[in-house]
Amino acid sequence: MKKSWIIVGLVLIMITFCLFILSLLQLFPRLLGGLLLLSAVVFTLHAINNQNRFKGLS
């Protein structure tokens, strides 16, 4: 289940990167493209970081 969140995050990064490239070509709002790319990167890093978290002894 946790690996699927990482795959979803990577797919989101690829999609939002394409949107960001479109925003650089002035076909999409640049602010929205940048925010979407940033949020996709943060989501993916959060999923990777939570994967090996220590849950406790019990």
pLDDT, tens digit, 9 for 90 and up, residues 16-58: 999 999 999 999 899 999 999 999 999 999 988 887 777 778 6
Q: Which amino acid is at 27?
A: L
Which DSSP letter does residue 58 get?
A: -
pTM of the entire structure?
0.82
pLDDT value at residue 58:
67
pLDDT value at residue 37:
95
Do residues 44 and 12 lie in contact, with contact meaning Cβ atoms separated by under 8 Å?
yes
Between the alpha carbon of residue 41 and those of residues 2, 6, 13, the distances in Å are 16, 11, 6
